């Protein structure tokens, strides 16, 4: 059978109708169209489309199931790697990711992967009863800050592994940018709500109206027993140009404008949320957020909406589909134009004139493209003397966002870069603070939903590996290399180099400095606080040894009461010791004058190698 060269068309509302309503523009494939589109997939051997997917969905596998009408099976494949398939099928830029790698796309149009993903997710969500197989709980708690795409993805992946996950959201609804930033006509909020409800069925607890950095701090989350924290708080701090007139009435950041319209439902005639329903609107910027703002303003009743962008149409960063939809709806593009001033009304004869301080226009200067910048895009070069004014009564600034500094300013040890993004290890999402991971816009600045999801998935994997390794107590129990056993004489000989308490009884007991450093690292991993490492030593007190008939004691001194997951640390040590026959824990008052707690781990007829292995089990 010959390959169909073009995608099956996505049915949409007519432009003349959709420009004045907030209903979803794209209507979605029906079953027969989805099966036909799935039949275009070549099911390539090397599967390049998977490489183009930030969350590594097994794309050919789910498409094959659609082709065979196994839609439930297709959803199972999708949900293995994506917590938000109905969202991704609508808003992810497949044309620059998975579809850009499609082998069919070399000669013809690529397979409509996103359209098929949306169909499968919608089919699944339309079923009245969905059974979730809950994983067995592992008893470990993880906190997720932010309920946007990175936070929800991280939470979902960890919940499926048995973690007790709590998501803390600053706003009153879960979804982050999915509910406050992306308009209803692109992503219906019922879709987001359904995806969130699915995560809740996996046991994810979502607490709204909690601002981390004010209501609670990251450090307080650890104190409450959370063993790892993922920061997916997004990039909600808007940027402005710094030009004259930005403080006039009628100037919005895109974040504020879209939040009022979407989250606070200002588009609804019954809503009490105030928003300016201007007749003439200029939107500064050329990304997806700019398109969303322009198309929202049009639906709120604007007669003329302008996209003011300093480069050409070819450089617009917005999705091609969104630009096409905007043009079809009547949005005007003022390209190669750079704003230099926002003009406002001022009546010098009447300071109480109600029109004073309101926007009346935006002055722009023509540009031409020069040499490429550091990212390869040609720089806009302003043409002197080319200024003119576009008459508008509202200006929406959509030139990017950066992470809110609140979490950084209240979290000691969390490093950020010059743009305010949290610094992380690329392959793990690990931050500079022990036990804290981050991803999404909080790290990169404003980016796509799918890239944020990929970061959440990466961090979830790293958190699971970190906590699994941290609490794997028993693997080394029966694998001690006896050739490295130290007897008491050896330990005493090694210990002569240092006297920790300076009283002749307690000595350094580490075989070498590298092992000491490993134990320090293990301790800081376990307590999330490198400053609370106990002092270790070997007690050679003859009377104590004789009384207890023990070959070796190790002393712990704490400066304060330490707990792990609500358990006093000495209880934790007792539990660990039970896994190693002959290890007993004896508490007693410190005779060295320390204010904190002091007790011994008694290694009855044991040796330092065994004890060292215990500590390494925590690392």
User: Last residue of a domain, which of 383, 412, 428?
Assistant: 383
603 shares its domain with 496:
yes
What's the mean pLDDT in 496-523?
38
Higher pLDDT: 496 or 239? It is 239
208 shares its domain with 275:
no
Structural domain total, the chain:
4
Confidence band of 469 (pLDDT split at 50, 70, 90): confident
pLDDT at 607 over 90: no
Is residue 4 a part of any domain in this protein? no
Which single residue is written with the structure tokens 């404003």? 446
pLDDT tens per residue, range 363-389: 999 999 999 888 888 899 999 999 999
Is residue 398 a part of any domain in this protein? no
What's the mean pLDDT in 277-304?
97
How much of the chain exceeds pLDDT 70, in percent?
Answer: 75
Confidence band of 130 (pLDDT split at 50, 70, 90): low
466 shares its domain with 486:
no
What's the mean pLDDT in 26-52?
95
User: Last residue of a domain, which of 470, 494, 513?
Assistant: 470
Query: Among 45-49, 174-178, 380-384, 539-543, where is mean pLDDT lowest?
Result: 539-543
- Per-residue model confidence (pLDDT) at position 468: 86
Domain that holds residue 588: 482-617
- Per-residue model confidence (pLDDT) at position 471: 65
What's the mean pLDDT in 445-466?
94
Is residue 561 a part of any domain in this protein? yes
What's the mean pLDDT in 30-39?
97
516 shares its domain with 545:
yes
Helix (H) or strand (E) holding 360: strand 359-372
What is the CATH number for 361?
3.50.50.60
pLDDT tens per residue, range 198-233: 999 999 999 999 999 999 999 999 999 999 999 999
- Per-residue model confidence (pLDDT) at position 127: 82
Confidence band of 128 (pLDDT split at 50, 70, 90): low
Query: Among 271-280, 401-410, 441-450, 484-493, where is mean pLDDT lowest?
Result: 484-493
Is residue 115 a part of any domain in this protein? yes
Secondary structure (DSSP) of 430-442: B-SSTTEEE-THH
What is the CATH number for 38?
1.10.1060.10
Confidence band of 470 (pLDDT split at 50, 70, 90): confident
- What mean pLDDT value characterizes the chain? 81
Query: Among 60-74, 402-416, 473-487, where is mean pLDDT lowest?
Result: 473-487
Q: What distance in Å separates the CA atoms of residue 355 and residue 346, rounded to the nearest whole number?
A: 7
603 shares its domain with 487:
yes
Confidence band of 465 (pLDDT split at 50, 70, 90): very high
- Three-state DSSP at 530 gives helix
Is residue 244 a part of any domain in this protein? no
- Per-residue model confidence (pLDDT) at position 464: 95
447 shares its domain with 357:
no
Q: What distance in Å separates the CA atoms of residue 91 and residue 85, rounded to the nearest whole number?
A: 10
pLDDT at 399 over 80: yes
Is residue 51 a part of any domain in this protein? yes
597 shares its domain with 513:
yes
209 shares its domain with 296:
no
179-182 long-range contacts, CB within 8 A, separation 24+: 179/262, 179/263, 180/255, 180/258, 180/259, 180/262, 180/263, 181/255, 181/258, 181/259, 181/262, 181/289, 181/292, 182/91, 182/258, 182/262, 182/292
102 shares its domain with 210:
no
- Parallel/antiparallel/unpaired status of strands 304-309 and 538-539: unpaired
Query: Residue 402 CA to chain centroid, in angstroms?
Result: 14
Per the CB < 8 A criterion, the answer to whether 160 and 135 are in contact is yes
pLDDT at 254 over 50: yes
Is residue 179 a part of any domain in this protein? yes
pLDDT at 37 over 70: yes
113 shares its domain with 29:
yes
What's the mean pLDDT in 587-605?
36
- Per-residue model confidence (pLDDT) at position 186: 96
Neighbouring CB atoms inside 10 A of 100's CB total 14
- 477 class by beta-carbon count within 10 Å (0-12 exposed, 13-18 middle, 19+ buried): middle
pLDDT tens per residue, range 170-200: 999 999 999 999 999 999 999 999 999 999 9
pLDDT at 103 over 90: yes
Written in H, E and C, the secondary structure of 66-111 is HHCCCHHHHHHHHHHHCCCHHHHHHHCCHHHCHHHHCHHHHCCCCC
What's the mean pLDDT in 413-430?
94
What's the alpha-carbon Rg for the chain, to the nearest Å?
30
pLDDT at 504 over 80: no
Confidence band of 241 (pLDDT split at 50, 70, 90): very high
User: Last residue of a domain, which of 470, 495, 516?
Assistant: 470
23 shares its domain with 108:
yes
- Per-residue model confidence (pLDDT) at position 497: 30
Is residue 113 a part of any domain in this protein? yes
Paired strand residues for 369: 380
527 shares its domain with 599:
yes
Query: Among 10-19, 346-355, 394-403, 556-565, where is mean pLDDT lowest?
Result: 556-565
- Parallel/antiparallel/unpaired status of strands 394-397 and 280-284: parallel
Helix (H) or strand (E) holding 586: strand 583-587
- Per-residue model confidence (pLDDT) at position 555: 38
pLDDT tens per residue, range 342-357: 999 999 999 999 999 9
pLDDT at 132 over 70: yes
What's the mean pLDDT in 502-530?
43
């Amino acid at each position: 059978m010959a390959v169909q060269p073009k995608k099956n068309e996505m049915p949409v509302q007519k432009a003349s109708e959709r420009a004045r309503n907030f209903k979803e523009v794209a209507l979605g494939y029906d079953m027969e169209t989805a099966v036909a589109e799935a039949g275009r997939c070549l099911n390539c051997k090397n599967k390049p489309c998977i490489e183009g997917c930030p969350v590594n969905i097994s794309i050919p596998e789910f498409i094959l199931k659609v082709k065979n009408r196994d839609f439930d099976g297709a959803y199972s494949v999708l949900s293995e790697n994506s917590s938000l398939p109905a969202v991704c099928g609508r808003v992810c830029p497949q044309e620059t990711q998975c579809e850009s790698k499609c082998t069919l796309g070399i000669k013809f149009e690529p397979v409509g992967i996103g359209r098929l993903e949306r169909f499968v997710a919608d089919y699944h969500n339309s079923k009245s009863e969905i059974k979730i197989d809950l994983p067995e709980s592992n008893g470990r708690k993880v906190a997720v800050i932010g309920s946007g795409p990175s936070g929800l993805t991280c939470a979902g992946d960890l919940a499926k592994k048995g973690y007790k996950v709590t998501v803390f959201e600053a706003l009153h609804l879960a979804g982050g940018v999915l509910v406050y930033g992306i308009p209803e006509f692109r992503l219906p909020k019922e879709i987001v709500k359904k995806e969130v409800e699915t995560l809740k069925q996996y046991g994810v607890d979502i607490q709204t109206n909690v601002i981390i950095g004010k209501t609670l701090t990251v450090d307080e989350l650890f104190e409450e027993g959370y063993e790892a924290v993922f920061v997916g708080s997004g990039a909600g701090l808007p940027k402005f140009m710094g030009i004259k007139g930005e403080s006039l009435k009628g100037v919005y950041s895109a974040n504020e404008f879209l939040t009022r319209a979407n989250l606070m439902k200002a588009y609804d005639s019954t809503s009490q949320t105030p928003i300016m329903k201007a007749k003439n609107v200029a939107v500064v910027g050329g990304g997806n957020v700019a398109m969303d703002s322009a198309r929202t303003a049009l639906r709120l009743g604007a007669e003329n909406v302008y996209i003011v962008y300093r480069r050409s149409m070819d450089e617009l960063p917005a999705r091609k589909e969104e630009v096409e939809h905007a043009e079809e709806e009547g949005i005007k593009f003022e390209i190669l134009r750079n704003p230099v001033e926002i003009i406002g009304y001022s009546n010098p004869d009447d300071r109480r004139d109600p029109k004073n301080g309101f926007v009346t226009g935006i002055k722009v200067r023509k540009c031409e493209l020069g040499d490429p910048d550091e990212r390869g895009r040609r720089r806009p070069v302003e043409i002197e003397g080319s200024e003119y004014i576009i008459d508008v009564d509202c200006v929406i600034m959509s030139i990017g966002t950066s992470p809110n500094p609140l979490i950084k300013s209240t979290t000691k040890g969390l490093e950020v870069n010059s743009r305010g993004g949290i610094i992380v290890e690329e392959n793990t999402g690990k931050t500079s603070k022990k036990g804290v991971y981050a991803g999404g816009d909080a790290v990169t600045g404003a980016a796509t939903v799918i890239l944020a999801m990929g970061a959440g998935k990466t961090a979830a994997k790293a958190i699971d590996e970190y906590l699994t390794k941290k609490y794997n107590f028993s693997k080394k129990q029966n694998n001690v290399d006896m050739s490295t056993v130290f007897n008491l004489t050896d330990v005493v000989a090694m210990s002569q180099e240092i006297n920790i308490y300076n009283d002749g009884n307690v000595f350094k007991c580490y075989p070498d400095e590298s092992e000491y450093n490993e134990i320090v690292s293990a301790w800081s991993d376990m307590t999330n606080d490198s400053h609370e490492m106990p002092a270790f030593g070997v007690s050679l007190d003859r009377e104590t040894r004789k009384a207890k008939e023990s070959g070796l004691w190790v002393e712990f001194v704490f400066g304060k009461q330490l707990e792990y997951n609500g358990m006093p640390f000495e209880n934790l040590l007792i539990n660990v010791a039970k896994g190693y026959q002959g290890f007993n824990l004896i508490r007693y008052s410190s005779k060295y004058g320390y204010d904190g707690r002091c007790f011994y781990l008694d290694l009855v007829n044991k040796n330092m190698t065994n004890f060292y292995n215990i500590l390494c089990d925590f690392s």
